Copies of this chain bind each other. A is one copy, B any other.
């Protein structure tokens, strides 16, 4: 559902073929990491079956054929429906790293400390990455800020655990 919204949303900007769509998501909407190539192609198929998009086949030089997807009127309406649903609801997020935290007591404090320092570094790298890309066009800036805010919350969280582990082990 969210992935359909994503693909329809990109197609709202104009026609695009599958490969380009994937590149676009990968580079411009890089904050969303849950869409793989093949899933995108699969979803485009679904969207086409439901009449939300149509495609024309074309070929450039001797490269493989490609399908230029275009959103239909029905698709535009559907996009707006999905958008309303997305904006008016809250999608609860599961954090995989919570599972590790829940079982943290199963490893010696010393080892946990080292592991968490690594985690912290990787979170910091992500933050630098987002800061590095500079300003995005309008709405995307919201998304970047959102992700940075969450990453900072993660840093604080790791620090809280590190602090607690430190105290327990004196």
Q: Which residues in chain A, 84-132, are within 8 Å of chain B measured between CB atoms?
A: 84, 86-107, 111-112, 114-116, 118-119, 122-123, 126
Is A43 close to B, CB under 8 A? Answer: no
Give how many copies assemble into the complex: 2
Number of A residues, CB within 8 Å of B: 64
Q: In the complex, A110 Cα to B113 Cα: how many Å?
A: 49
- Chain B residues near A145: list those with CB within 8 A: 157, 160
Q: Which residue of chain B has the shortest Cβ distance to A31 in the bound complex? A: B98
CB proximity of A98 to chain B, nearest CB, Å: 5
Pick from B34, B98, B105, B149: contact of A146, CB under 8 Å: B98
Known: A80-B107, A106-B80, A157-B142. A90 touches B101 (CB 8 A): no
Which residue of chain B is the closest to A113 with respect to CB atoms? B87
Q: A9 contacts the other chain (Cβ, under 8 Å)? A: yes
- B150 A101 Cβ-Cβ under 8 A: no
Question: A: which residues have CB within 8 A of B?
Answer: 2, 5-6, 9, 12, 29, 31-34, 79-80, 83-84, 86-107, 111-112, 114-116, 118-119, 122-123, 126, 138-140, 142-143, 145-147, 149-150, 152-154, 156-157, 160-161, 164
Docked pose: A59 CA to B98 CA in angstroms: 34
A109 vs chain B, min Cβ distance (A): 12
Given contacts A5-B99, A34-B94, A90-B122, contact A149 B143 (CB under 8 A): no
| B94 with A12: CB separation less than 8 A | no
Query: In the complex, A152 Cα to B90 Cα: how many Å?
Result: 13
Residues of B within 8 A of A104 (CB): 87, 139, 142
CB neighbours of A32 from chain B (8 A)? 94-95, 98-99
